[in-house]
Amino acid sequence: DEKFLHSIVWIASLLNSSEEFFLVTNDNKVYVYGTEICSYLSFKHDPNQPQQICFLDGLHIVQVDSGKNFVAILNVHGQVFIASDVDSKWQTNNTFRMVSTGNDRFEMIACGAEHLLLLRRDGIVFALGDNRFGQLATSSMSSYDTLPVD
């Protein structure tokens, strides 16, 4: 649909793939396209059209990044959401799950293969995910939990 194509204001390629995309339209509607990302959200991939994620509409997404088997998004309010493969340790249950449940608000996100870094607005960095190689900069085990409430 040509009208839809003209309404897209940005597209993010996901999961190191040329076939997985996250799209935002000029009216802040959010869509995904691709077999893998659709499976993360319980959608059936339709090769003819992207799938709308209604509960993200109007959230003003400002950044999207992805790792090996998960996608992270950041909105203008500093909230971070992730969606992952059904077999992933992130356990997002086929939807986008909010990572920060307290008053934490983030400025930027970055994904590694199996981990996520979050830069809080006060400059403190949080690390979640796999820690096999010490990439979380701690000696502790991996962490896939939601950030605690303040």
CB 31 within 8 A of CB 49: no
pLDDT at residue 62, as a whole number: 93
In a domain, 97, yes or no: yes
In a domain, 117, yes or no: yes
User: Which segments in the chain show pLDDT lower than 50?
Assistant: 142, 144, 146-150
Q: How many domains does the chain have?
A: 1
In a domain, 150, yes or no: no
Q: Any idea what the CATH number is for the domain that residue 44 is in?
A: 2.130.10.30
pLDDT at residue 144, as a whole number: 47
Q: Which domain holds residue 43?
A: 2-129
In a domain, 62, yes or no: yes
